[in-house]
Amino acid sequence: MKESVAQKLAKLLQLVRGLEADIGIVSLSKTERVLFTSIADLSALNNQEVEVRDIVAHPDLKNMPLPTIYKCLRDLHSKGLLEKVGTQRLGLYKLG
C-alpha cells in the first residue's frame, strides 16, 4: 500500500526527534533550537566558525530580536553546545 503524505511526514518528524535526542538538543527552547540549527547550517558553509553578523543574517532568524539571539548564544555556550572562538570581542562561534 502506498504511504500517504501524512505518514511520510510522521516518519520524518520521528527521525528528526531521534536526531535531536542524539545530539542533545531535546531540552532546548524553540528559539535555542532554531539558533543552534542555523549555526549548524552556517558552519557547514564556512569551515565551522561562524561570525555573529552571519548568524543574525540567517533567514531562519530574520524575525528574532537581536537581544534574544545574544541571550540564546550565551545560553547555548553555557550548556556546552557552542564554543566561543578567539577573543571575547571577536564574535566567532562554533558548535561545541
Distance CA 46, CA 40 (A): 10
In tens digits, the chain (96 residues) has pLDDT values of: 789 999 999 999 999 999 989 988 899 999 999 999 999 999 987 668 899 999 999 999 999 999 999 999 999 999 999 998 877 777 889 888
**Whether the model pTM is above 0.85:** no
| Structural domains of the chain sorted by starting position, each given as residue range(s) with its CATH number in brackets | 26-95 (1.10.10.10)
- Give the dihedral sign, CA 27/31/36/37: positive
- Grouping H, G, I as helix, E, B as strand and the rest as coil, residue 81 is coil
